[in-house]
Structure 1
């Protein structure tokens, strides 16, 4: 694979692009934010936080794309899928692979647009925060970073190993034959800490430090587990951590054990600010429908109640519409 691109160069894409470019590979960093693209062109991609990097990169806007790409790491927010797919399609050939690194269950939409045989997924096991045009903060400690990579149907193709090698210029990559199970595990990660912290306008660590917000988070996670089981999905262990078993509970002793597991696994991510909250802070709509909303929608399909995820979606929608502010006092709206 020679012609590489990242479509949607936000906080995560900037950091991934910096690592791939630093490895010596040519890659186009594509984004609609002209100010960000100009900063990347002029100054390079700057990474701060858990790692310090400044790497020259080739950045461009979608209208500046040329030719066919062999591999596109698709990182555009799902709220912009329709427009981004239209921009990308002229640059997708018969053998182009689209590897989505989005949140939620993005492979469904990508496969519908480009074909299941060309769709791969790489759930991201690290976090980042947007700082300013051209600059992103890595919030996960380097030794705790990872990707997991797979295909929609579970087949391990030669292309999987090529993409693995590319991503490994940044951090370790695990290959899985159960991508959908991995996605549900990642969905649980996002629905809990990202969803709840977005509704409360805070960092992940702030949710963990408050007893009530932590109880809300655990119920959100419990609903994810119940829904995935009803849908016949077995959450795949991520980085050796079995969400389905470690985070489930049925009484107070088991809930306390699950709480310990949450605290252990999310310890490296306490300073993370959810990308959904970053969007709200910028006055944009966020991906709540593609995260907690997926849990609610799938729950309705399989007759599994999801009242806590419903409340998270409701609060975030009200923040988007200006009816509420993104502040910790929204915790009063939850009943546990």
Structure 2
């Protein structure tokens, strides 16, 4: 477990005078799907003296109307069926490329907001990350902290390549892995379907760094919220947790989406689970960033991955994966940041990934990206182990339909 370098924020807030309320931490939330809405609801539970001011960043005017219609609250139904409302959020809307505060009664404030954002939680879908961050680029600098609380992997790299290209002015990055089951019923209305854990950790500013350089309020405050059940870890530990969650998502999301089913369906396809996790285990064992780390072979063995996957699924049997909802709505999925990650890393380390390739191709075809899907056809893949893995691919794709 990682301990923040110094409890700077706690000491600062404990010494605040009543006139120092301008020093109240300011949090902004970008992306209000199931994860982002759950995070925004949990943020309201950060206790004093670290209680923040929370701003919801919206890209669509109809979301503002919906927020007002719902009484300017975020509604959460607990696992026990209790309804918990949180309010007192600030709201900003992107209008013609400029951010404006939504005022309580008079609509949008005419003033354009360009103040620096101290702490930003990003929970948009992976493919939307860079587009969502670009309108905020001028409000983020080297003193800002961004927590990427999303499904999948590869969003940090995309942000560096397309948005924060200068390392000197790049914000500090944090990554989060959330295993709770949450269903978005409607905008600002969620159901907590499965209690689990949230894992947080710093991302090095460069490949040569081993730890973050600036202490983070988020890493200190978020673990104080019981509902979030968050723990802070080191860079290396959070990477391993992220890979475990990515293995879970690579099984749950595409297979539930292709069958239009809740998570409990996954217990009907054990052979498919074993074959896919065998492929993922091979990729992980070959990753250079984990080379020489004690316990990697055991932690990412097929048996251990199966136990991890089964544990999370069992805690979220009635949860509907986000990819299922995306396909139902005719929206783009996060497949390229989930199974696509294993395909990319497999190519980098010379491990064929025909099962992941097949799942990516099928989901891309379902969402209408036919040309992109062709890049994941078996004929386009080359490698010394492809022929050996063809049997696994054939068995798995048959079982997707045959094991129900």
Shared fold per TM-score greater than 0.5: yes
Residue 293 of structure 1, CA deviation = 0.9
Distance 1:35 1:17, change over 3 A: same
Q: Quick check: 2:277–2:306 contact (8 Å CA) kept in 1?
A: no
2:298 to 242, 245, 260: 245
The answer to whether 1:132 aligns with 2:186 is yes
Question: What is the root-mean-square deviation in Å for CA atoms of aligned residues?
Answer: 2.9
1:151 to 190, 203, 211: 203
Residue 287 of structure 1, CA deviation = 0.7
Superimposed CA distance per residue, residues 251-308 of structure 1 (whole angstroms, 9 cap, x where no aligned partner): xxxx6x8655543343211122111221111110111011101111221222211111
Partner of 1:8: 31
Partner of 1:229: 285
Q: Greater CA radius of gyration, 1 or 2?
A: 2
Query: For 1:276 and 1:163, how far apart are their aligned partners in 2?
Result: 28
Partner of 2:91: 59
Instruction: In structure 2, list runs of 5 or more residues that go unmatched.
Output: 1-23, 101-112, 371-396
Paired residues in the alignment total 313
The answer to whether 1:32 aligns with 2:59 is yes
1:284 to 331, 351, 365: 331
1:177 to 211, 229, 235: 235
Q: Quick check: 2:36–2:122 contact (8 Å CA) kept in 1?
A: no
Secondary structure at the residue paired with 2:360? helix
Q: Considering fraction of residues, name the structure with more helix.
A: 1
Q: Quick check: 1:127–1:138 contact (8 Å CA) kept in 2?
A: yes
The normalised TM-score by structure 1 is 0.82
Q: Quick check: 1:216–1:308 contact (8 Å CA) kept in 2?
A: no
Distance 1:244 1:294, change over 3 A: same
Residue 186 of structure 1, CA deviation = 2.1
The normalised TM-score by structure 2 is 0.69
Partner of 1:327: none
Secondary structure at the residue paired with 1:29? strand
Partner of 2:119: 71
Instruction: In structure 1, list runs of 5 or more residues that go unmatched.
Output: 250-254, 324-329
Query: For 1:176 and 1:123, how far apart are their aligned partners in 2?
Result: 13
